[in-house]
Chains A and B, each alone.
Chain A
Amino acid sequence: MKIQIDNLRFTYPTGLEVLRGISLSIEAGEQVAIVGQNGAGKTTLVRHFNGLLQPASGSVMIGDWDTKKTSVAKLASRVGYVFQNPDEQLFSKDVATEIRFGPRNLGYSKEKIDELVTRALALTELSDKTETNPYDLSPTWRKMVALASVIAMDTPIVIFDEPTTGQDAVNVARIAHVIAELHREGKTVITITHDIDFCAENFERVIALSKGQILLDGPAREVLGQEEILAQTYVDPPQLTRLGKRLGLKETVRNQDEFLSAMRK
């Protein structure tokens, strides 16, 4: 399912213009990371994808649906969104109910719901916490519950807003695995992240946003190598990219394999 955004502008009721002419398209099945300075407008942008916010001008198309003419409830069948702050999203008395809520709301059959919930629990390794109240979990596990409840909706487009914050190495690997699984199933995954190493290791395309405009958009290797331009939006290149530069490697390297093979040349 394609996302097509044309000249999107958005101003909050406070008068602050936060998105200043964004145009981009994302093809079905792409894995895209969005990076950029605090306040750049990343969260504001993705909230347009599921209709939580409406453009002041310009348009957002999700497949053949114009978000201006489609209800949030309907858009939920195409776009799943994991909030930056999980507490805005969670409201059920236990983890199992929370995760069932989304797919049930989309009207799937009982069998399909059971299957989706079981898979979401397994992917996030929450199977032993189904009876726990989400608010008895630490913020890091609450974020995993938020993630599971969105995966369970089985939407063609999934958006994660800062999924790795506060997660330890094991959970970060788990989230990377979830993203890889969704990719394998052909879903579009859009992830907002400040974790540039995670971004370099898991995404093929990177969009850098700065002050409500697109600063860079392209293959991860090209975008993440642009140290000076990224600095304008308070982003550092990945650790190994910076190291490669300092060591005088000719090509931009993004991960351990690329770095070591460049060192062996």
Chain B
Amino acid sequence: MAFINLQNVTYQYPLTKTPVLQNINLQVNEGEFVAVIGPNGAGKSTLCYALAGFVPHFFKGEISGSIEVAGVESSKSTLDEWVMNVGLAFQNPFNQISGAKYTVFEEIAFGLENSGVPREEMKARVEEAMKLTDISDLADRSPYSLSGGQQQRVALTSILVMQPKLLVLDEPTSQMDPIGTREVFSVVRKMAEGGMTVVMVEHKMEWIAQFADRVIALKDGQILLEGKPNEVLTSNILAENGFGVSRYTSTAREAKKQGLWRKENLPVTLDEAVEGFVKRDE
């Protein structure tokens, strides 16, 4: 059975007049890495909240359908129980610092401390997680005097360190430098290979195509397309619906008209692009 199972989920916030999620059906297997893309206001963050239990436990509003993770139904669970399995990195990393801790190390250890993990194990896990996100040198710094990208790394690390069964990441690389972004994708890929289930909202198509197993394209609260990264990300439907595309894709689409792209499928990654472009004189 699927690890995440959403059946006909329709949801609206107390103040919205129309549903923000409409009839969402989604199954994700354990250890799968799914990327969610979509224009602003599509409902990506709301979907993250639904997976993380904030909808409906925190945001209230009207919900129908069922949300199941690891065989447990959200409506029959409490938020406290739910967060034992699910970790969410919020879209805005600036608001995610606990406010209770003086150093980055303690900030990241906060969750483990609360769940009673022994001191030695805690220390080892925090150090390991900080290595993954390349922030070991920030350990003794104050969590309040960090750059944007550093804050985002700290926020991400404090979720990773909990090793949740389901990792929900809402634009986790929005403040990160380009090479750091690629590294985060690669770390997340490794986590998924280790059995963690990952749902990640992102705009960076090149890395989605390279690292994710599946892509969900969301628009106006509905799933517009779903499938293998290359298929979804090169679809004309995306370009027509205001989704961003990789430069490789948009350029190959144009090059095809000029006879400079020789393959049937369009590229999303650099390697795919290298294989299909032809110079005029070749």
Contacts and interface: CB of A to CB of B under 8 A. Distances in A.
Given A14-B142, A240-B251, A168 B91 contact: no
Interface string B173-211: 011111111100000000000000000000100100000
Interface of A: 12, 14, 36-39, 43, 84-85, 87, 136, 138-141, 162, 165-172, 194, 196-197, 231, 233-236, 238-240, 242-243, 246-247, 256, 259-260, 263-265
Contact of A239 (B15, B91, B171, B246): B246
27 contacts: A37-B179, A37-B180, A38-B153, A84-B175, A85-B148, A87-B95, A140-B40, A166-B171, A169-B39, A170-B242, A171-B40, A172-B244, A194-B177, A194-B181, A234-B178, A234-B180, A235-B177, A235-B179, A239-B270, A243-B277, A246-B270, A263-B255, A263-B278, A264-B258, A264-B260, A265-B280, A265-B281
B47 to A, nearest CB: 13
B147 A43 contact: yes
Interface string B54-70: 00000000000000000
A43 B95 CA distance: 18
Most interface-central of A87, A263, A265 (chain B CB within 10 A) = A263
B274 interface: yes
Given A141-B40, A236-B179, A169 B145 contact: no
How many chain B residues sit at the interface, stated as a range, is 35 or more
B254 interface: yes
A12 B145 contact: yes
A3 B92 CA distance: 32
B149 A39 contact: yes
B94 interface: yes
Given A165-B175, A194-B176, A256 B247 contact: yes
B247 A87 contact: no
A38 B149 contact: yes
A28 B242 CA distance: 35
Contact of B277 (A167, A197, A236, A247): A247
A139 B178 contact: no
B33 interface: no
Interface string B144-156: 0111111001000
B79 interface: no
B177 A239 contact: no
Contact of B247 (A12, A36, A38, A197): A197
B90 to A, nearest CB: 9
Interface in B238-282: 242-248, 250-251, 254-255, 258, 260, 270, 273-274, 277-281
